[in-house]
């Protein structure tokens, strides 16, 4: 899997390679395909790979279920990144001090002090 590649793009490339190998007479069991996909994931996916390996029986795990689990995790990671980016953005206001106080300024000052 490439660095900025999505799971679905990686899986499309993977399927193309596997289908080409089938045409050449090489076939793989589902368990082998699942293990190959888990091995090709980047290091940032290591916690998810470990969780899948420990929680699921890889010999019976369907490839489609693995793909769904990985896509869900990818979406969750992207959502967390978006939240972190939004938290980092801050709005600052420039304060200015005016010497003249009109009735409106006095009322605003009174409201803000009560608030």
Domain residue extents for the chain = 7-88
Per residue in 25-62, pLDDT (tens digit) is 999 999 999 999 999 999 989 999 999 999 999 999 99
Q: Is the pTM of this model over 0.75?
A: no
* Rounded Cα–Cα distance for residues 71 and 11 (Å): 10
Banded pLDDT at 3 (limits 50, 70, 90): confident
Residue 81 has which token pair?
């990144």
**What are 97-101's contacts with CB under 8 Å, separation 24+?**
none
């Amino acid at each position: 899997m490439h660095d900025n590649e999505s799971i679905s793009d990686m899986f499309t490339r993977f399927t193309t390679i596997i289908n080409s190998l089938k045409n050449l007479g090489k076939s793989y069991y589902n368990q082998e395909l699942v293990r190959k996909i888990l091995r090709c994931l980047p290091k940032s996916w290591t916690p998810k790979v470990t969780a899948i390996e420990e929680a699921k029986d890889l010999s019976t795990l369907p490839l489609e279920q693995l793909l769904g689990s990985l896509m869900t995790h990818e979406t969750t990671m992207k959502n967390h990144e978006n939240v972190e980016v939004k938290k980092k953005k801050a709005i600052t206001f420039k304060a200015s001090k005016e010497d003249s106080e009109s009735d409106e300024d006095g009322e605003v000052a009174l409201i803000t002090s009560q608030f």
